[in-house]
Amino acid sequence: MDALTLDVRLDGFSEPVGILARDDNGGIAYAYRPDYVANPEAVALSLSLPLTDEPYGDVAARPFFDNLLQERDGALADIMAREGLARDDIAGLLFHLGKDCAGALSVLPAGAPPVKLPGDYGSDYVRIGMERMVDIVDALHRHRRLPDGTADPSPLAGVQSKIALTYLPDGSFAEPRPGSGAPTTHILKVADQGHLHDARDEAEALSLSRALGFDTTDATVMPFGEMEALLITRFDRALTGDGRIVRIHQEDFAQALGLPAALKYERRGTPGRCFDTPAIRRVLEATADPAGEKDIFIKATLFDLMIGNTDGHAKNFALLHDRGGRIRMAPRYDLLPTRLDANLTEELAFRIGAADRLAAITADDFAAFLQALGIESAAARKRIRAGHTVDIAASLARQLNGLDKRNMKRFADLIASNIGTLTAAFGLAAPAAVEQRDAFLDRAGGWLMS
């Protein structure tokens, strides 16, 4: 294997921020450029790769750069077959695919000009007609090749079919003009034939998140012919004062922790190298407001438990890196009440104390979860557990009638069931609206076990 050197670029900086190198044995290393480290506006690529003059070896660099590739290995098959590359040849794959990394980063052949630039609504986008949009949605729904001439300009992680595009101020869809380097502004997520209700389920979950005061990305269910898809506003985009669209550097928790995508669930890792509560604490304590972010994460965890979202894995939480090194939690995104699907696991993405599912959580488990996040006072842990649980349960209970009216009764019954399970485990009274609900039935027609 030949040695290879690649430039790593970050949108908003005129010169490469660092160098990714592959040696003759296939090992990779990453180093920031000295002039970039000296820049007071410099942003670290990752919590796992802090700004330093020293290079990072394979163990540190590989997880971060591997996470820049599409999570679905099938999406890499063509380039691997055409170029004769192995899946673990991260630098070789990025040589061909690095210009399309999701987010503000790009990895390019040494000396190549930047390919990601701010966008202008008026000049940098080409409209997509609705007939073509229907064809695109149908192709994603059926897992078929996109219509000729359609390319996803920002490959996205995850197992659901989705495409990055731009939603213009006049309500039409568009794609970046070839060669413009302009960012997309939205993600269109399309359910497959076995999950036709996912768009509405996720839209409702995101709406509930906003209603309860969480910073949450906007999402709208839109019709495309006989299909519905979920249009999601990208949280890693911003509009400048002069009307240009720019990218904000972000990373998910897997990247921040130096974990490959394969270890995004706690159950797949090993002690000290997994997505567990101590690891989450390390990420939150690196933000500009550790106490505030921890409190939000605790509330978000209770919210997820109550709405039946068991898929809060390391790639479904993210950080935003602002100029000058300020780090903050990204808005909530990718919220799906997975317990509505009886074919999906009840196992939580990360354990709450010793519990790996809602039905197993006790007051002691939640206290252990809080302590692992750094809440040292037993009195504070008890106050947080009771106060946050009661508040979130009451707020969600007030949303149940609205869900009924929007033909989401089954989701409302799931929420009520989960609230009842959690409040009983914590020795708290459930809201009256919860007690009056029908029991939740799984799709097989059986009772939800708790």
Q: Are 171 and 163 in contact (CB under 8 A)?
A: no
Residue 311 among the catalytic residues:
yes
**Tokens at residue 108, please?**
């390019």
Q: Are 418 and 411 in contact (CB under 8 A)?
A: no
Helix (H) or strand (E) holding 364: helix 363-372
Check residue 169 and report its DSSP letter: T
Q: Which residues have CB under 8 Å from 206's CB, separation 6+?
A: 216, 217, 218, 219, 332, 333, 335
Nearest to 396 by CA among 365, 420, 380, 379: 420
Residue 371: how many CB atoms within 10 A of its CB? 16
Helix (H) or strand (E) holding 50: none
Q: Determine the residue type at 213.
A: G
Nearest to 358 by CA among 389, 325, 396: 389
Please give the order of strands across the beta sheet that includes 327-329: 249-252, 318-321, 327-329
What is the secondary structure of 242-309 as a DSSP string?
A: TSEEEE-EEEEHHHHTT--GGG-SGGGSBTTBSSSHHHHHHHHTTSS-HHHHHHHHHHHHHHHHHHT-
Q: Can you state the percent helix, strand and coil of the chain, rounding each to 5?
A: 35, 20, 45
C-alpha to C-alpha distances, 305 to 26, 238, 241, 266, nearest whole angstrom: 43, 31, 40, 16
Q: Are 78 and 15 in contact (CB under 8 A)?
A: no
> CA–CA separation, 293 vs 297, rounded Å?
6
**Catalytic site residue from 311, 334, 356, 413:** 311
> CA–CA separation, 75 vs 119, rounded Å?
27
**Tokens at residue 351, please?**
């354990």
> CA–CA separation, 294 vs 370, rounded Å?
9
Check residue 337 and report its DSSP letter: -
* Catalytically active residues, by annotation: 311
